[in-house]
Amino acid sequence: MVGMITLPNVVAGADGNVALPLKLSVGVESSDKPQDIATTLQILLFFALLSVLPAIVLTMTSFTRIIIVLSLVRRAISLQQLPPNQVLIGLALFMTCFIMAPVWQSIHTEAISPYTKGEITQKDAFERGVAPLREFMMRQARQNDLALFAGMAKLQKPKTKEDIPLHILLPAFVTSELKTAFQMGFVVFLPFLVIDMVVATVLTAMGMFMLPPIVVSVPFKILLFVLVDGWHLVIRSLAMSFN
C-alpha cells in the first residue's frame, strides 16, 4: 500500500488563462512495485528530517556558542530585553551562515551536486556530506569530552579521527561548545562586574542605601561598551574562535 496524492489536470480557459486546481485528493492504493513503497518511505523520512532540522542547526554548527555568548553579553550589561531575542537569534543565524559557509560549500560540491547529477548514490552522498561537518566538529571538540562519551559507550580507542562515530562526536562537540561559550562569557563579564562593585562601594560610602546600584551602573556599562566598540570586539572574537 502506498500513499497517492492526485491533482486535477490544469485546463486553460477560453481567454487563455490557466485555471488553478480546485481540489486536492489523497488516496491509498495497492502497488506491486517495491520502488513505489521505497519512494513513499523516502518522502516520509524527508518530512521527518525536516522536523529535526532546527536541532541539527543548533547542535552541529557554530550557533550554540554564538547565541550563548551574545546572551551573556546582554546579561552582563544588565539589559534584560535589549537587544530583543529576535535580534540576537537573527544575528546568531547570520553569523552561523558566515562561519559555516565554507563547510556548506564543500558539502554542496562534494555531495549534493554529484548526487543530483546521478554520479553517486545516496549512501556515497551522505558519507561525503558528513565529512566536512565531521572535520568542523572535530576541530572544536575537546579530547577529554571525546574520551568521556567514548568511555561511556565502552568504545575501543579509535586509531584515527575517522573512526570516531557520529553518536560520540556530536555530544562531545556540543559539550565542548558549551564550555567554550561560558569561558568567553566569563571574560566578557569581568569588566562589567568591576563597574558594579565600584558603583556599589561608592553608593555605600555615600550612605545611599536605598538607591539600587544597578540604576547607576547600567549607564556606565553602556558607555563603556560603546566606547570600546563592544559589538565589534564580540563578533570578531566569536568569528576568530572557530579558526
CA dist 46 and 2 (Å) reads 16
- The CB-side HSE value for 158 (13 A sphere, CA atoms) comes to 16
Interval 79-127: pLDDT, tens? 777 788 888 888 888 888 888 888 888 888 887 787 777 777 777 877 7
Q: What is the pLDDT of residue 11?
A: 46
CA dist 127 and 2 (Å) reads 29
Cβ atoms of residues 180 and 65 within 8 Å: yes
Q: What is the pLDDT of residue 38?
A: 58
Element (H, E) at 2: strand 2-6
Q: What is the pLDDT of residue 4?
A: 46
CA dist 202 and 197 (Å) reads 9
Residue ranges per structural domain of the chain = 1-51, 52-71+80-240
Q: What is the pLDDT of residue 16?
A: 53
Q: What is the pLDDT of residue 7?
A: 44
Q: What is the pLDDT of residue 216?
A: 75
pTM of the model: 0.70
Would you state the torsion angle of the CA atoms of residues 219, 223, 229, 232, taken in this order, to the nearest 10 degrees? 0
Interval 35-46: pLDDT, tens? 455 566 767 777
Locate 121 and state its grid cell: 548514490
Residue position matching grid coordinates 544588565: 78
Cβ atoms of residues 120 and 84 within 8 Å: no
User: What b/e string do you get for 13-52 counting C-beta neighbours within 10 Å, with b at 16 or more?
Assistant: eeeeeeeeeeeeeeeeeeeeeeebeeeeeeeeeeeeeeee
CA dist 101 and 53 (Å) reads 17
| Average pLDDT along the chain, 243 residues, taken 10 residues at a time | 46 51 51 54 72 77 88 82 84 87 84 77 79 84 84 76 79 88 87 82 76 76 83 86 81
The phi, psi pair for 28, rounded to 5°, reads -120, 120
Instruction: Name the nearest CA neighbour of 175 among 204, 157, 159, 152.
Output: 152
Q: Dmax of the chain from CA atoms? A: 89
